């Protein structure tokens, strides 16, 4: 989920200290409220979703109200990464879609089984209090292969899934993995163990230039070949295709070029990341809606790179610097998405649903509709 710039360190949030008596009282009041505090107009909308869709469309939502304009005919799960929004929960349920919590945790802590148990209990309580249908575990931290964190992570996923399935009927536990299982960003995870332990993996087929080992030049966020090799590698490990959801980006990268050659090669600054000499951290993430506003007034207009099967354009900023913007559009996405049907993957999803233009402007509306349409299985 969190591309380099977003991979921020989180401060441990501690509740303000208060007298034990008050804390106990608050706990009591809260537990009484659970079950009677359904915020939906119809009480049954607080019930967890139990259907098992044949095809998963998994949407990350980062907050605010754009979800009101989503194409709900497609959505099966919303991962709520923004502030809790009970209106969104009620709405998702009214559309038969699951809505799940975000799960992240410091890997150092989960080595301790007692810590894991209390973390899981806390998430179950939160899910019940907010009428959520599961959790999406988003770790993205570095793990060494022969470290205690390696097995602890698999155990965390297994225990979380068992508890959720037991406590919330029909609930879903998923785990986010990098575009390839090959030690991307120094993540050594037990992918087969984790896939077995949860409902499915969300494969983040983006930020694929997070570690650039060759030339430092601007390139696609999710090049066609590289993306599909990632899935081939997951399948070769023996992971069931029904345990994989393809994650596609609804954002691109804007790179400042140190030099832009006549054949559109944009040299970028060397910004190292986890051992690699350069990285997409040299660029800036831009949502699809901004890209669509800029592309027609760019110097190059939309160009298509055949090797990477991705669109890009060049523009000059007010200070006179050249930029190259790489992105995904319905064409590049549908080329990759064909793999889902061909290999029987579980579904598709995106980071993130909020990136499109929902203003209602007629050109934007059509572009937004097309992006949603690509998610539909083509069979």
CB of 173 to ligand NAG, least distance (A): 15
Helix (H, G, I), strand (E, B) or coil at 285: strand
Q: Indicate the residue among 61 and 208 with the shorter CB distance to ligand NAG.
A: 208
**Residue sitting closest to ligand NAG (CB):** 193
Instruction: Provide CB contacts within 8 A for 85, sequence distance 6+.
Output: 63, 67
Q: Does 190 bind ligand NAG (CB under 6 A)?
A: yes
Angstrom distance (rounded) from CA 168 to CA 79? 17
**Interacting residues with ligand NAG between 281 and 340 (CB under 6 A):** 296, 307
With 0-12 CB in 10 A as exposed, 13-18 as middle and 19+ as buried, what is 62?
middle
The residue behind tokens 């599961």 is 134
Which helix (H) or strand (E) element contains residue 371?
Answer: helix 362-373
CB of 313 to ligand NAG, least distance (A): 11
Q: Which residues of 244-259 are buried (b: 16+ CB within 10 A; e: fewer)?
A: bbbbbbbbbbbbbbee
Pick from 63, 193, 241, 277 the residue near ligand NAG by CB under 6 A. 193
The yes-or-no answer on residue 140 being catalytic is yes
CB of 220 to ligand NAG, least distance (A): 10
- Alpha-carbon dihedral angle through residues 206, 288, 311, 332, given to the nearest 10 degrees: 60
Spatial contact of 327 and 312, defined as CB atoms under 8 Å apart: yes
Q: Does 147 bind ligand NAG (CB under 6 A)?
A: yes
Q: Does 363 bind ligand NAG (CB under 6 A)?
A: yes
Candidates 10-18, 60-68, 254-262, 370-378 — which segment interacts with ligand NAG by CB under 6 A? 254-262
Pick from 261, 341, 342, 359 the residue near ligand NAG by CB under 6 A. 261
Helical axes 224-236 vs 330-343, angle rounded to 10°: 20
Q: Does 232 bind ligand NAG (CB under 6 A)?
A: no
Q: Does 23 bind ligand NAG (CB under 6 A)?
A: no
Angstrom distance (rounded) from CA 100 to CA 161? 13
Pick from 5, 31, 64, 225 the residue near ligand NAG by CB under 6 A. 225
Count of residues touching ligand NAG (by CB under 6 A)? 15
Q: Does 44 bind ligand NAG (CB under 6 A)?
A: no
Catalytic residue among 44, 87, 122, 140: 140
> In the chain, how many H helices and how many E strands?
9, 15
**Interacting residues with ligand NAG between 151 and 170 (CB under 6 A):** 154
Q: What share of the chain is helix, strand, coil (3-state, %, to 5)?
A: 40, 20, 40
CB of 180 to ligand NAG, least distance (A): 15
Q: Does 64 bind ligand NAG (CB under 6 A)?
A: no
Residues that bind ligand NAG (CB under 6 A): 142, 144, 147, 154, 190, 192-193, 225, 259-262, 296, 307, 363
Annotated active-site positions, please?
Answer: 140
């Amino acid at each position: 989920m969190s591309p380099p710039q977003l991979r921020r360190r989180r401060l441990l949030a501690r509740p303000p200290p208060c007298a034990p008596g008050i804390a106990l009282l608050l706990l009591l009041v809260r537990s009484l409220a659970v079950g009677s505090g359904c915020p939906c107009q119809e009480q049954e909308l607080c019930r967890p979703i139990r259907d098992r869709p044949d095809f998963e469309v998994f949407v990350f939502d980062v907050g605010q109200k754009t979800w009101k304009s989503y194409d709900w005919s497609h959505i099966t799960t919303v991962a709520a990464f923004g502030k809790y929004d009970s209106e969104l929960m009620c709405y998702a349920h009214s559309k038969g879609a699951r809505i799940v919590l975000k799960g992240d945790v410091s890997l150092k802590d989960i080595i301790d089984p007692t810590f894991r148990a209390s973390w899981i209990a806390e998430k179950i309580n939160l899910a019940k209090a907010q009428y959520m249908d599961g959790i999406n575990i988003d770790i993205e931290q570095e793990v060494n292969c022969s470290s205690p964190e390696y097995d602890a992570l698999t155990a965390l996923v297994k225990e979380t899934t068992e508890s959720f399935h037991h406590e919330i009927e029909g609930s879903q536990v998923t785990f986010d993995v990098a575009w390839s299982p090959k030690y991307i960003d120094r993540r050594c995870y037990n992918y087969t163990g984790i896939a077995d332990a949860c409902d499915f993996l969300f494969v983040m087929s983006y930020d694929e230039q997070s570690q650039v080992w060759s030339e430092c030049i601007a390139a696609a966020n999710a090049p066609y070949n590289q993306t599909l090799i990632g899935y081939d590698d997951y399948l070769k490990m023996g992971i069931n295709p029904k345990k994989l959801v393809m994650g596609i980006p609804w954002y691109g990268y804007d790179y400042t070029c140190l030099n832009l050659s006549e054949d559109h090669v944009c040299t970028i600054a060397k910004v190292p990341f986890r051992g690699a000499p350069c990285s997409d951290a040299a660029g800036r993430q831009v949502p699809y809606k901004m890209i669509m506003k800029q592309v027609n007034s760019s110097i190059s207009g939309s160009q298509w790179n055949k090797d990477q099967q991705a669109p890009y354009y060049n523009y000059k900023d007010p200070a006179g610097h050249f930029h190259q913007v790489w992105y995904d559009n319905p064409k590049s996405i549908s080329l990759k998405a064909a793999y889902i049907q061909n290999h029987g993957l579980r579904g598709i999803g995106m980071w993130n649903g909020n990136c499109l233009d929902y203003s209602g402007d007629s050109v934007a509306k059509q572009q937004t509709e097309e992006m949603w349409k690509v998610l539909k299985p083509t069979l």
